[in-house]
Structure 1
Amino acid sequence: MKILVLSQYWHPENGVPQRRWTWLSKILSDAGHEVTVIAPPPHYLRNLSLREWWKERKFSSHREPGRGQSGELIIRSGFVPSGSSLTQKAINQSTVALGSLWVVLKRPGVLKGYRPDLIIGTVPALPTALTTWLSAWILCSPYVIDLRDNWPELLDQAREWNKGTGQRSLREKLLSRGPLQAASTATRFTMHRVLAGAAGIVVTSGHLRRDLLEGQPANSEREVITVRNVFPPETDYVASGKDEGSADSLNVLYAGTLGRAQNLANALEAAYLAEQQGLHVHLRFVGAGATKKALVERAKELGVEASFESRRPADALEGHYEWADTALVHLTDWEPLGSAVPSKTYELMAAGLHISGVINGETAELIREHQAGDIVEAEDPQALADLWVTLAKDRSRLRITGTGQAWVAEQREHVVPPRLLGLVERTARP
């Protein structure tokens, strides 16, 4: 059958959404389905000036199609460049959504006369949800939303989004006095309408699936399935454990997004508190994100040892994994994040690297169930400091012997493919 995927990001970009959908596209293609994608050119991590954007005609949605790693046909849509602020990201996501909608309306070139049997829209780029709904109406096709995060509930935390980035900008202060509330209300209404009309919803956690099923009417035929971010790792690294080492030092790695939802200043505070107990924590952050500058400044203020390295491809992380005694999985205490499972959790479980989990909810449950590391409550730096002191004194706890590695492989190879294909077959146009 013909499946149309609408996305804000796609290969050759190498983030979590891109890797997730390269994997899912292969599952669909291997099953004989014809996958077509509408997505902008790679630009997520590129500092593209408006002059370059205009010169290279990146505003135009009409381009020659290409082929992706999984055999999918890719139609590149237009966009306006992004930035690190929430306002710039919102403009970027909105223009990408408009570019995708233009392609659907015009169906140029190879899409002439095209009508998919199913449309899949990938969120959390929220404008994509509306574009998916409109595209389904235009093309008279059913649609599925790949929700991934707990939207629209995360809008309840809007006032906290920038707490880790430092001082609020004048623009943020002005927008928060009415425009933000109006936009949140409109977005919430739209998301509820889009989700209510979907033939199916794909989520990344069992808790979010449970919440959605509890909230939908008893007579609803909408399917909700869990497809975890257990895409194949780009490294074959398997930890050997760190039984030996000094009791007064610990190497702690965080590899991932230095973003608002992580609030990694908590880890810096924990390193400072551990130092007061005689433990020297070597913190290494590998990644990029909106809070990076504020984290660098905070580390200097506290006088803790923290190095910050640029984002690396997943296949270039082996040296960092070998260096680390333990790896952080870290989220702030926003209630909707209790049903989020960072994809790094699965990667670390597959690698057998000890996890220092600063999380609540489902992620904590998974780490405990599969004995993949130790857990402390979010936003409790003293508890994290105490955990690190304990691990340094008893390094036998750093050797992972739980079931995480086998469980992740089982999910990837035997649970996700039939679950995804079953949803597609049941929700597609007859």
Structure 2
Amino acid sequence: MKILVLSQYWAPENGVPQRRWAWLTKILVRAGHEVLVVTPPPHYMRNLTLKDWWKESGLLGKEQVEQGDNGETILRSGFFPAGRSLTSRIFNQAIVAGSMLVARPSKARGLKGYRPDVVIGTVPALPTSVATWVVAKRLRAPYILDLRDAWPELLHNSHDWNSGTGKRSLREKVFSKGPLQLLIRVTDRSMCQALNNAGGIITTSAELQTHLERTMPVLKGGKQRFYATVRNVFPPKAPYVPQEKSNRDQGHLNVLYAGTIGRAQKLDNALKAAQIARDWGFDVRLRFLGDGASFLALRKEIVEKNIDAQIEHRVPADDLIPHYDWADTALVHLTNWEPLNRTIPSKAYELMTMGIHISAVVSGEAAELIETLHAGHVVEPENPESLAELWIDLIKDRSKLAITDEGANWVEHQRNEVVPVQFLEIVEAVAKQG
């Protein structure tokens, strides 16, 4: 079976979307399917001059294919160099989606007459959903949307997107006075249309799948829409053996956050919790590793409030091991937006696999999963007092940092037994129904 994948994130970039699809691609290829990917060149963490950008890709991309590391064929689309701001990222994602629309795989060398049996679009980026709809219609193929978060409902929290990113630029202030609302309305409607016409929808949580099954309209033409939960239980980038920590200094707690420092995390809540613990006479030491829209604002707050915390940009997976050894507990953190009740941070699965205690600031399915698997402790989002109380409790009784291998075993079973079957079933079912 020929499978066309549209994605704005792909290897050799190293993020959650890239690692997720490297793993899923292996599953497809091992099952005997041919995978063609339309995606831009790696660029999200690069500073490119306009000359280098135009030579490498430009707006429309190049009609040249390459072979990926997991058996896939890659056709690189165009893009536009993006900065950290929301507006520049939106612009880049729109350019990439537009380039996907004009990409002609059948014109690329070695792909003459190419026609897929099914098209899969990965979201985010949000414009990919509409590009997938249009491309699939043009190629007369059914399509699946891989919905990694609770989109488009998260658009309804756009008024709060920049609350944790510090002072907004003049461009963002002007953009938010009307253009942003118009763009969100158009994106919401367009994405809903793309979802409504999809033959299959993949989610990363059971709660989101249930929500969509209950709220989505019936697919036109009397066809069945297929759903599947494909969790982000991809293998860790580097193996890790938990270290014995029982003999450490009993007077403080080392808390590590390694992940996206973005809008949906609002990690200033963790800073407030550490400050509360300090005011109450307890020593909580924070370490943040990652990148995102809130990085600079978080770093500024650490300095201004003299909080015992370190913050560094994202490091390679192999270099995380000393940080995991340092940590008594690892922080998994989301804010209190209602759609995030149906989101499970992939970091939670990684920490379960590694056997590291989780301090979880989450709600909904993520909270239930961590508590059920005894992988750590959970407090509600946007309640720094509760988080401070948890950390103080762990300082007082370090035996509570011990966890069983229940979470690791569950993740391994999902990774090796459950997800591959569910993923292949939905892809083959949508392609068969046509």
What's the TM-score, normalizing by structure 1?
0.97
Matched residue, 2:98? 98
- Residue correspondences, number: 430
Q: How does 1:176-325 map to 2 (within 5 A)?
A: 176-217=176-217, 221-240=224-243, 242-325=245-328
Letter in 1 for 2:427: V
Matched residue, 2:349? 346
Please point out which of 381, 384, 391 is paired with 1:381.
384
List alignment gaps of at least 5 residues for structure 1: none
SS of aligned partner of 1:187: helix
What displacement does 1:175 show? 1.9
**Which piece of structure 1 moves more, 346-355 or 164-173?**
164-173
Q: Decide whether the 8 Å contact of 1:242 with 1:399 is kept in 2.
A: no
Letter in 1 for 2:270: A
Structure 2 vs 1, CA of residues 57 and 136 (structure 1 numbering), >3 Å: closer, same or farther?
A: closer
Please point out which of 415, 419, 424 is paired with 2:418.
415
Matched residue, 2:84? 84
1-structure distance, mates of 2:105, 2:181? 31
Q: Decide whether the 8 Å contact of 2:161 with 2:263 is kept in 1.
A: yes
Structure 2 vs 1, CA of residues 241 and 206 (structure 1 numbering), >3 Å: closer, same or farther?
A: farther
Letter in 2 for 1:357: A
Q: How does 1:105-184 map to 2 (within 5 A)?
A: 107-184=107-184
Query: Does residue 332 in structure 1 map to residue 325 in structure 2?
Result: no
SS of aligned partner of 2:110: helix
SS of aligned partner of 2:284: strand
1:119-159 Cα deviation digits (max 9, x unpaired): 00001101111110110111000000001111110011101
Structure 2 vs 1, CA of residues 136 and 57 (structure 1 numbering), >3 Å: closer, same or farther?
A: closer
1-structure distance, mates of 2:364, 2:146? 21
Letter in 1 for 2:101: L
Q: How does 1:33-52 map to 2 (within 5 A)?
A: 33-52=33-52
2-structure distance, mates of 1:132, 1:192? 13
What displacement does 1:276 show? 1.1
Q: Decide whether the 8 Å contact of 1:118 with 1:142 is kept in 2.
A: yes
2-structure distance, mates of 1:154, 1:268? 25
What displacement does 1:107 show? 3.4
1-structure distance, mates of 2:44, 2:130? 21
Q: Decide whether the 8 Å contact of 1:326 with 1:398 is kept in 2.
A: yes
2-structure distance, mates of 1:169, 1:33? 47
2-structure distance, mates of 1:134, 1:394? 57
Matched residue, 2:362? 359
Q: Decide whether the 8 Å contact of 1:249 with 1:281 is kept in 2.
A: yes
What displacement does 1:60 show? 4.1
2-structure distance, mates of 1:288, 1:344? 14
2-structure distance, mates of 1:56, 1:413? 38
Q: Decide whether the 8 Å contact of 2:64 with 2:108 is kept in 1.
A: no
Q: Decide whether the 8 Å contact of 1:53 with 1:59 is kept in 2.
A: no
1:57-99 Cα deviation digits (max 9, x unpaired): 4434124211111110011111111111111001110111111
Letter in 2 for 1:291: S
Matched residue, 1:61? 61
1-structure distance, mates of 2:362, 2:57? 43
What displacement does 1:241 show? 5.1
1:317-376 Cα deviation digits (max 9, x unpaired): 111111100000000111111111110000000011000001111111110000000011
1:209-268 Cα deviation digits (max 9, x unpaired): 010001124676111110000001122213245333333211110000111110001111
1-structure distance, mates of 2:6, 2:237? 25
SS of aligned partner of 1:93: helix
SS of aligned partner of 1:242: coil
Letter in 2 for 1:298: E
**Which piece of structure 1 moves more, 201-210 or 109-118?**
109-118
Structure 2 vs 1, CA of residues 151 and 308 (structure 1 numbering), >3 Å: closer, same or farther?
A: same
1:7-56 Cα deviation digits (max 9, x unpaired): 00111101000000000000000000000001011101112233432344
What displacement does 1:173 show? 2.1
2-structure distance, mates of 1:169, 1:32? 50
Q: Decide whether the 8 Å contact of 2:7 with 2:121 is kept in 1.
A: yes
2-structure distance, mates of 1:30, 1:55? 35
Letter in 2 for 1:386: E
1-structure distance, mates of 2:258, 2:178? 36
1-structure distance, mates of 2:57, 2:208? 40
1-structure distance, mates of 2:132, 2:217? 22
Letter in 1 for 2:358: I
2-structure distance, mates of 1:363, 1:229? 12
Q: Decide whether the 8 Å contact of 2:106 with 2:113 is kept in 1.
A: no
**Which piece of structure 1 moves more, 180-189 or 49-58?**
49-58
Letter in 1 for 2:224: E
SS of aligned partner of 2:38: strand
Q: CA RMSD in A?
A: 1.5
SS of aligned partner of 1:282: strand
List alignment gaps of at least 5 residues for structure 2: none
Matched residue, 2:14? 14
What displacement does 1:299 show? 0.7
What's the TM-score, normalizing by structure 2?
0.96
Letter in 2 for 1:193: Q
What displacement does 1:106 show? 6.6
1-structure distance, mates of 2:28, 2:130? 24
Stretches (4+) displaced over 6 A: none
SS of aligned partner of 2:104: helix
**Which piece of structure 1 moves more, 418-427 or 103-112?**
103-112
Letter in 2 for 1:4: L
1-structure distance, mates of 2:275, 2:91? 38
